Amino acid sequence: MKQSQEMFDYNCLVHKARTRFHIQPGINFFLTQSDKKQMHAFLLTWTALSVSNTQPVEGWIRRAGNKCIQLGYNKIGQRLVDHSRQEADHDKMLVEDLEVLVQLWNQKYENKITTKELLSLELPQSTKDYVTLHENVINSDEPFRQVAIEFEIERISVNYGPRMLESVMYSLGREFTKGLGFLAEHVELDVGHTAFNLRLLDSCFKENKAWVNSMAETGSTALNIYGQFLNDCVVQCQKISQQKLDLSEVRKLNQNFIDQFADSIQ
Ligand SMILES: [Fe+2]
Ligand SMILES: [Fe+2]
């Protein structure tokens, strides 16, 4: 599909937030952490805390759709309402994964843990911010901005998901694939969902070109919050791993990188 001028402008505006997301420590931890205990503790935390980000998704999309219909944007609203059903019960996949990950943890480590404990972890500020963002969008007079949130977040599964899966499988082992059902399913499902979001974004811009700015702002905010959520998962997982996070390799790499550039520029 040829990219419309509005879609191009939207992508330019949101590009800064996408770049910022890419260099956040949380996403990089997910993709590069090689310490098995740290990675396992991170997966437990990320899977447990993701339940609160995922459980309301179906309702958020449906309510945003209904609000669009109420404001007279019938086509956009109806497509959102129809699409919402495809997100039903995805939080249940996370709970199933969590059970597998907890079982593996208890086989390997001394400090035993339960699924119930993990599901009652205190929610980080980023999760609260994620809920607030959706509620603000739904209750505003621009509820179609829900499409921008979905587009940016589901794009993460498509763009980063395969690397996330590789990172876990090859550093922790094949047995962990059973605890990655949610991620593996979303790598596949969100290809279709992202194509759907892209078409819907374009329909929104056809409805009103002036929506590009507020869509990009909302999409950027969603990315910033999700990037922070992954950072929060790294911080919270230290309580489970009960070992000091070794950042010496990262520091060494960065220092070498800076030195090399400094040398060649001088
Ligand atoms: Fe989903
Ligand atoms: Fe999805």
3-state secondary structure of 180: coil
| Cβ-Cβ contacts under 8 Å for 47 (sequence gap 6 or more) | 94, 97, 98, 101, 118, 179, 182
Calculate how far, in angstroms, residue 186's C-alpha sits from the geometric centre of ligand 1.
6
Structure tokens at 249: 């390799």
CB-proximal residues (5 Å) to ion ligand 2: 154, 190, 193
- Tell me the CA–centroid distance for residue 222 and ligand 2, in Å: 15
Report CA-CA distances (Å) from 96 to 46, 90, 92. 14, 10, 6
Q: Please, which pLDDT band fits residue 1 given cuts at 50, 70 and 90?
A: low
pLDDT average, residue stretch 199-207: 95
Euclidean distance between CA atoms 115 and 113, whole angstroms? 7
> What residue ranges define each of the domains in the chain, with the CATH number in brackets?
5-265 (1.20.910.10)
pLDDT the model gives residue 193: 94
- Region 59-77: what's the mean pLDDT? 98
Contact 218, 149 (CB under 8 A): yes
Going from the Cα of 189 to the center of ligand 1, the distance in angstroms, rounded, reads: 8
Mean pLDDT of the chain: 95
pTM above 0.75, yes or no: yes
Q: Which residues contact 121 (CB under 8 A, 6 or more apart)?
A: 45, 48, 49, 236
246 CA from centroid of ligand 1 (Å): 33
pLDDT band at 191 (very low <50, low <70, confident <90, very high): very high
Rg (CA), the chain: 20
Q: Cβ(71)–Cβ(143) under 8 Å?
A: yes
Q: Which ligand is nearest to the CA of 190?
A: 2
Distance (Å) from CA 236 to ligand 1 centroid: 24
HSE-up (13 A, CA, CB side) for residue 4: 14
